Structure 1
Amino acid sequence: MLSEFQETLLQSVQAFQSTQLVKNKYENVLQHLDSGILLFDSEGVLTFINVQMAKLLELPRQSLIGCNLLQLMRHPYLSRFKQKKIARIYRETIFHRRKYHELIDEYGRHWLISVVYGDQMEGDFLLSVKDVSDYKQIEQTAYQNDKLAMLGKISAAIAHEIRNPLTAIRGFIQLLRPHLIQLGKDEYARIILMEIDRANDIIHEFLNSSKPTAPQKTIVSVSSLLKDAMLLTESEALMIGCEMRLHQQTEDLYVSIDVKQIKQVILNIIKNAMDAIHEVSVIHYAGMIELGIKQEGDRVNISIQDNGNGMDKTLLGKLFDPFFTTKEQGTGLGLSVSYRIIRNHGGTISVDSMKGEGTVFVVSLPLTRQA
């Protein structure tokens, strides 16, 4: 009888140990997932948080276990930004019954948040957070490529059809100009010719945005490239009370590029920065454009940062779209052309901005050896 009891007890201990091993194994897997995980019980108390989620919240794990949502929100080390995001997720989950959310954090990363609750969770709430920035980048690149391909087809179909009548109109206006001068209406002829030339410039930009010429590459110093761009824009910057600075590493870095095309990209971004600074009309305001050079592995990052008006996050995803512009006189082709040029050089171009705090563009290009 005693031996049977001991055997039953041994089996129970072994079963418990086996269950505990399985539990520890699965908990270890959850701890090291690349997704952040929070688990609240039916009473709203946090019973589990993995390492990744603690890193995202920038809080120690042990200080969170046993907290309810209100206590989590009031944690002394939780940032104000994260408090707002958690409150938004709670509101949309509980009141709007949404189980999936997307948000952008203070560092510009995209996160997909999913919430699981109901009968299958026995009253518990499981919240998982995954970084989908790379997927968003791939999606945006594919979307941009589709737009540029469509733009190429449109430009091939209509560009010449528009240019031909403009050429004829310009020729006839020039023939009529002596008669207009006699009538004292030379100003009319000048305005017509100026507008025709402007229309031709827009068509030229339109064609370049759809199919830029192949890069004619030479090896150049990045610092000399930026110094040339600063010389070309320095006088215009001084006119609006803007200072320009160049920050670079001690070692000079070299890239193999089409100098004319890349300089066009740099000048376009600097011009946009000056426009953003010019929009700010505050007493004692000092405009600043800072150009930086930094090596990242086998690439060089060229940053152009301003302290201008900045942009809302909603506009950032549209900046490189053809014909999208926030300027009254803009064509919306400058940045889409820049995007294509940088991509043709095997590089990337990105932007980050915040309303009232300025904008920073980063152009990344492959490094090369000096000739």
Structure 2
Amino acid sequence: MADFKSSKTISQLFDPNIASELFYLLLESTPVGVYIYRENFIYVNPAFERITGWNFSELKNKKVWEIVHPDYQETVKERILARLSGKKAPPSYELKILTPKGEEKWFEVSVVTFKKDEQIFCIATAIDLTKIKNYSRHLAETLSEYRAILHSFDGLIYTVTPDYHLAFVNKKLEKQLGSVRGELCYKKIFGREEPCPWCSLKEVREGRSVKKDIHIPEENKWYYVVSTPLLYPNGSFYALHLLMDITQQKRAQQEILRISKLESISLLAGGIAHDFNNILTAIIGNISLLRLRLKKHLTEKEEKLFKQMENVCFRAQGLTKQLLNFAEGGSPIKRVSSLKEMLEDTVSFCLRGSNVSWELSIPDDLYLVDIDTVQFGQVVSNIVINAKQAMPSGGRLWVKARNLESKEPRGFLKPGDYVEITFRDEGIGIPEKVLPKIFDPYFTTKKNGSGLGLAICHSIIKKHGGHIEVFSQEGKGATFKIYLPASKQEKPFSRTLIQKEIFKGKGRVLIFDDEEVIRETLKEFLEISGFQVETAKDAQELIKKAKVGNFDLAILDLTIPGGMGAKKVLPFLKSYTPHIKTILMTGYSLESQKIKDFDAFLKKPFTFNELFAVIEKILPSNSAKNVKDK
């Protein structure tokens, strides 16, 4: 028998026959697999059959190592043969077997030897480790996956103790901070001397999970934060924090909201500007009529009053132009242009006589751009004037332009070639809480400001297919960046100016406008010039007069509230008088393709100099006598 050392042996406690029976019952009932062997199996208990899947009838003719997995078969064979020859071999080890169905199972085997009839026998126990092995493997795989997720996560992950000390940080945060275990999270990560105002540790300690957006002013960044309790099996409690940088998404949301506001106000602006332009057209027309009638009797003081009235009207005209930049009809009329001269002239003009110096840096190979020079000049003027006002005690403004080739999407810009224009000042800067609102219409921090300047800039740039953004810190100046698509043309657009003159003429003119004061003012002025004039307030009246009148010219308003405007009445007019010349007038700025059916275009409000210049162009035979009005 084997050498069992104990205070009393089984043979001392029980009768040998009873002891043998007890040993047999133990072998048959134990859940641990037991088997006796030399090279072949001699005995296996029921537990061994159950956990291995092999019946003793199948095993009694097999070598022990024949059911062992090929990876371990040679090792097991060597150890068995060593024991049977009286040599030492490891008493316990792990191995893998194959079931009759070819399934793999793991076992922990413990072996002892005994002699009988001068032969060495082996008795072994086999404990099934398959579930533990599978669980360990699954756990290792899961840990590997989680570790990969933690370290590849494009954000910050860290755990803290209930008293704010760091316990774990992911690779991204570790690269930024180094070894930080045990450090205070608010001090090491955010550079603060006390817990962050946005911290969720209190809620997490109460067992709650928190999800929210936070803004970190020092970085001017937004993060989406998830904070949740983390309880370890040993009872340790931590707060797990995940931070994702959502700054770009926040800026995009603000941009979309800003665009939505601009679109809403453009409807209002368009209506206001249209009505205002009608009023200005009537005012300017009546001033011109009154001045013409009193011209021979005007004193110097009265002439000065007329000029002041005209100047006020033209200033009001500038306001309507600003409003129309919000409206759909305010689309820019683009020409291929070079920015250098326009930037030099505009910046110089805006800063002339001020205590602000400026520096312009533009390369000779700067891309051409497709812009409405009037509208874009307004953008430059607004930004430069803002910079000047931000430096009341003087300072410096840097204006720089460069070519930008963007192969990847850049915020709201698609891939392509752009011109980047930068305006950087030394002014008082823009407070962080105000920065997201500066492009909103009617938002202003200036005592006498209208809140339209930067909103108009934003609208104009968007309509040019570009983008504008601002960077600033209070007390450290501001930087505006404008991105404009580069033109595909190689030469800038150029044109000659047409001198506008008033003239005496002849012929029949039909005026179509819903505003009575405009109809009557135009009628009187044209009649003074020698034309025969009829007016119509709506489509029905126009068609009725067109049937019986042989008109040479029609001046048509684009929009008639509640009725047919110029575009819809034009076919009827042409059907009665095919040779008629037409002038489209409106308060909106229209692109060339929208006025192609008309012979000329006049934008309200207009002077009579401008009106007669257009008439002379389309009815040159009527220019019998040119008379200067001024």
Given the two structures, how large is their TM-score scaled by the length of structure 2? 0.48
- In structure 2, how many angstroms separate the alpha carbons of the residues matched to 1:113 and 1:162? 50
- CA distance 1:352–1:103, shift in 2 (3 Å): same
1:338 pairs with one of 457, 465, 468: 457
Residue 119 of structure 1, CA deviation: 7.5
- In structure 2, how many angstroms separate the alpha carbons of the residues matched to 1:156 and 1:246? 36
Question: Contact (CA 8 Å) 2:347, 2:380: kept in 1 or not?
Answer: no
1:154 pairs with one of 260, 265, 268: 268
What residue ranges of structure 1 are gaps of 5+ in the alignment? none
- CA distance 1:226–1:111, shift in 2 (3 Å): farther
Residue 361 of structure 1, CA deviation: 0.6
2:229 pairs with one of 97, 117, 124: 117
Query: Is 20-29 or 320-329 further displaced after alignment?
Result: 320-329
SS of equivalent residue, structure 1 residue 360: strand
2:330 pairs with one of 209, 213, 218: 213
Question: Contact (CA 8 Å) 1:277, 1:308: kept in 2 or not?
Answer: yes
> Aligned partner of 2:227: which letter?
V
> Aligned partner of 2:267: which letter?
K
- Which residue is 1:242 aligned to? 356
Q: 1:133-156 CA distances to partner (integer Å, 9 max, x unpaired)?
A: 232233223212221221122134
Query: Residues 96-115 of structure 1 correspond to what in structure 2 (within 5 A)?
Result: 99-104=211-216, 106=218, 108-115=220-227
Residue 32 of structure 1, CA deviation: 0.8
- CA distance 1:352–1:317, shift in 2 (3 Å): same
- Which residue is 2:347 aligned to? 233
Question: Contact (CA 8 Å) 2:366, 2:419: kept in 1 or not?
Answer: no
Question: Contact (CA 8 Å) 1:242, 1:289: kept in 2 or not?
Answer: no
> Aligned partner of 1:158: which letter?
I
> Aligned partner of 1:229: which letter?
L
- CA distance 1:169–1:16, shift in 2 (3 Å): same
Question: Contact (CA 8 Å) 2:395, 2:425: kept in 1 or not?
Answer: no
> Aligned partner of 2:454: which letter?
L
1:326 aligns with 2:408: no
- In structure 1, how many angstroms separate the alpha carbons of the residues matched to 2:263 and 2:241? 40
- In structure 2, how many angstroms separate the alpha carbons of the residues matched to 1:192 and 1:346? 38
Select the structure that is richer in helix.
Answer: 1
- Which residue is 1:259 aligned to? 373
- In structure 1, how many angstroms separate the alpha carbons of the residues matched to 2:354 and 2:325? 30
Residue 99 of structure 1, CA deviation: 4.9
- Which residue is 1:22 aligned to? 142
- Which residue is 2:520 aligned to? none
1:52 aligns with 2:172: yes
Length, aligned pairs only: 348
- CA distance 1:153–1:39, shift in 2 (3 Å): same
Question: Contact (CA 8 Å) 1:102, 1:111: kept in 2 or not?
Answer: yes
1:295 aligns with 2:404: yes
Given the two structures, how large is their TM-score scaled by the length of structure 1? 0.77
- In structure 2, how many angstroms separate the alpha carbons of the residues matched to 1:14 and 1:214? 69
1:354 pairs with one of 473, 490, 493: 473
- CA distance 1:193–1:267, shift in 2 (3 Å): closer
> Aligned partner of 1:202: which letter?
L
SS of equivalent residue, structure 1 residue 336: helix
Residue 351 of structure 1, CA deviation: 0.7
> Aligned partner of 2:136: which letter?
F
Question: Contact (CA 8 Å) 1:212, 1:340: kept in 2 or not?
Answer: no
SS of equivalent residue, structure 1 residue 309: coil
Question: Contact (CA 8 Å) 2:362, 2:401: kept in 1 or not?
Answer: yes
- CA distance 1:365–1:198, shift in 2 (3 Å): closer
- In structure 2, how many angstroms separate the alpha carbons of the residues matched to 1:30 and 1:343? 40
Question: Contact (CA 8 Å) 2:343, 2:380: kept in 1 or not?
Answer: yes
> Aligned partner of 1:352: which letter?
F
- CA distance 1:140–1:256, shift in 2 (3 Å): same
- In structure 1, how many angstroms separate the alpha carbons of the residues matched to 2:486 and 2:284? 46
- In structure 2, how many angstroms separate the alpha carbons of the residues matched to 1:247 and 1:85? 45
Residue 359 of structure 1, CA deviation: 0.6
Q: Specify which structure has the bigger relative contact order, considering alpha-carbon pairs within 8 angstroms and separated by 6 or more residues.
A: 1
- In structure 2, how many angstroms separate the alpha carbons of the residues matched to 1:139 and 1:112? 14
Q: 1:43-85 CA distances to partner (integer Å, 9 max, x unpaired)?
A: 6442321233346xx322xx1134343xx61x5xx6xx74379
1:201 pairs with one of 310, 318, 342: 318
Q: Which has the larger radius of gyration?
A: 2
> Aligned partner of 2:326: which letter?
S
SS of equivalent residue, structure 2 residue 399: strand
Q: 1:183-233 CA distances to partner (integer Å, 9 max, x unpaired)?
A: x99999887776565444323321222236333334344xxx144322333
Residue 126 of structure 1, CA deviation: 1.4
Percentage of matched positions with identical amino acids = 26
- Which residue is 1:127 aligned to? 241
Query: Is 202-211 or 161-170 further displaced after alignment?
Result: 161-170
SS of equivalent residue, structure 2 residue 440: coil
- In structure 2, how many angstroms separate the alpha carbons of the residues matched to 1:141 and 1:41? 39
> Aligned partner of 2:439: which letter?
F
- In structure 2, how many angstroms separate the alpha carbons of the residues matched to 1:8 and 1:294? 75
- Which residue is 1:312 aligned to? 431
> Aligned partner of 2:223: which letter?
W
Query: Is 314-323 or 112-121 further displaced after alignment?
Result: 112-121
Question: Contact (CA 8 Å) 2:270, 2:328: kept in 1 or not?
Answer: no
> Aligned partner of 1:23: which letter?
L
Residue 275 of structure 1, CA deviation: 1.7
SS of equivalent residue, structure 1 residue 317: helix
- In structure 2, how many angstroms separate the alpha carbons of the residues matched to 1:59 and 1:334? 43
Query: Is 135-144 or 197-206 further displaced after alignment?
Result: 197-206
Question: Contact (CA 8 Å) 1:311, 1:359: kept in 2 or not?
Answer: yes
Question: Contact (CA 8 Å) 2:397, 2:423: kept in 1 or not?
Answer: no
- CA distance 1:106–1:339, shift in 2 (3 Å): same
Question: Contact (CA 8 Å) 1:293, 1:300: kept in 2 or not?
Answer: yes
1:89 aligns with 2:208: no
- CA distance 1:193–1:345, shift in 2 (3 Å): closer
- CA distance 1:18–1:139, shift in 2 (3 Å): same
> Aligned partner of 1:355: which letter?
E
SS of equivalent residue, structure 1 residue 349: strand
What residue ranges of structure 2 are gaps of 5+ in the alignment? 1-33, 35-91, 94-106, 110-125, 407-416, 491-630
- In structure 2, how many angstroms separate the alpha carbons of the residues matched to 1:244 and 1:27? 55
